[in-house]
Amino acid sequence: MAKPTITINQELCIHCGHCVRVCPSSVLRQEESSNQVIVSTQNGCIRCGHCVDVCPKDAICHSAFPAELVHEVNTDLLPSPESLMELMRSRRSNRTITDCPIPDECLQMIMEAARYAPTAENSRRVRLHLVTDPDALQEVEAAVMKYFMRLARILLCPPVKFLLQPFLKDLYREAPGLLAMNEAFRQGKRPATCQASALLVITAPRNYAFGYQDCNLAYQNASLMAESLGVTQIYMGFVQTAFQMMGVSRTARLLGLPSRQKVFAIMALGIPAFRYRKYTERA
C-alpha cells in the first residue's frame, strides 16, 4: 500500500490544533512560534482519518480520503443516550427464528455496521463472511454436530467417564443437552445454528494479535444494528467452540475462507416469530 500524502492548506487553516490533538501517530504538529500546523512525518500515518474528520475548515488534504469520501455528520439522526440505552437493554438472543427471509438491505446494513467498528491501530484486518445458502448452512450444522457427537461418544464411554467425570463436572453436566441437540438434528432441525437464515462469520488472520478484540467489536456493532432492524442475533458460542477444536485449516475449508483466516466470532441471524416487549433489570 502506497504511503499517503498529507498537505495542509495554510490559507484555510485557523490553527485550532484539533488535528494535532487527535492524531494517534503524531504525524502532525503545531509550531510554538507561529501556531502553524505542519506535517512532521508521513511515514507513521495509519489512515484513520481523524485529522480530516475533525478539521472545521477542510484545510487538510489527505490522499486516502478524497472529498467524495468525507461526509458531514447528520446530528439529527444520532440517537439520544436514552434511546441507545433502551436498545441495549432490550436486546435479546431471540431463538424463535422463522422461515421468513431477511431482506437484503437489512443484511447489508448489518455488514456495514460491522465494518465501521474500530480496530487496533486502524489495521482493518477484520473480514466479514455472510453464509446464506441453505446447503452451506446445513453443511456447517452437520460438521459441528458430527464433531461434538464423536467427542461425546468418547467422553461417555463408561471407562472414560469414570476417570474424567470427577475432573470435568461442568462438561459432563452438558451431556444431556448435547444428546437432545443430536436428537433434534436427526429430526432434520439445525439446533447448533438455531435455524438461522444467515451466519455472519467474522475473521482475522490467524496470527493477528488483536483478532479476538477487533472481531468482537465488529460483532457488537452488527448486533446492535440487527436489533434495531428487528432481526434476531445469537452468539454462536457452541459453533465457535467446535471451530476452535477443529482447527483453523479445517474450519477455513468448511466455510470457504482463505486458509490463514481464523474465525473469532459468529452471529446467527433470522427473523423472529415475535419480539420481547419487556426487559428485566440486570445486576
Query: 134-172 pLDDT, tens per residue?
Result: 999 999 999 998 888 776 666 667 776 667 667 666 666
pLDDT-wise least confident of 32-41, 172-181, 199-208, 222-231: 172-181
Domain assignment of residue 75, yes or no: no
Domain assignment of residue 180, yes or no: yes
Mean pLDDT in residue range 175-181: 74
CA distances from 186 to 32, 145, 146 (A): 73, 10, 11
Q: Is the pLDDT of residue 94 over 80?
A: yes
C-alpha cell at 226: 440487527
Residue type, 150: R
Tens digit of each residue's pLDDT (9 = 90 or more) over 44-66: 899 999 999 999 999 999 999 99
Q: Which pLDDT value is given to residue 245? A: 86
Q: Which pLDDT value is given to residue 283? A: 82
C-alpha cell at 67: 472529498
Q: Mean pLDDT of all residues in the chain?
A: 91
- Residue identified by cell 482519518 is 49
Domain assignment of residue 175, yes or no: yes
Tens digit of each residue's pLDDT (9 = 90 or more) over 210-268: 999 999 999 999 999 999 999 999 999 889 989 998 899 999 999 999 989 999 999 99
User: E strands within 70-218?
Assistant: 127-131, 198-205
Shared-domain flag, residues 64 and 166: no
Shared-domain flag, residues 248 and 220: yes
Domain assignment of residue 125, yes or no: yes
- Do 185 and 141 touch, CB atoms closer than 8 A? yes
- Torsion on CA atoms 259, 200, 186, 245, rounded to nearest 10: 40
Confidence of residue 179 (pLDDT cuts 50, 70, 90): confident
User: E strands within 53-102?
Assistant: 60-62
Q: Which pLDDT value is given to residue 168? A: 63
Domain assignment of residue 281, yes or no: no
- Residue identified by cell 502553524 is 36
Q: Which pLDDT value is given to residue 220? A: 97
Range of the domain at 62: 6-69
Q: Which pLDDT value is given to residue 172? A: 62
Mean pLDDT in residue range 10-34: 93
Domain assignment of residue 118, yes or no: yes
Q: Which pLDDT value is given to residue 2? A: 73
- Do 120 and 210 touch, CB atoms closer than 8 A? yes
- Cα separation, 26 vs 21, whole angstroms: 8
Shared-domain flag, residues 150 and 224: no
Shared-domain flag, residues 174 and 53: no
Number of structural domains in the chain: 3
Mean pLDDT in residue range 107-118: 97
Shared-domain flag, residues 205 and 222: yes
Q: Which pLDDT value is given to residue 3? A: 80
Q: Which pLDDT value is given to residue 181? A: 81
Q: Is the pLDDT of residue 193 over 90?
A: yes
- Residue identified by cell 461442568 is 170
CB-based burial label for 233 (10 Å; 0-12, 13-18, 19+): buried
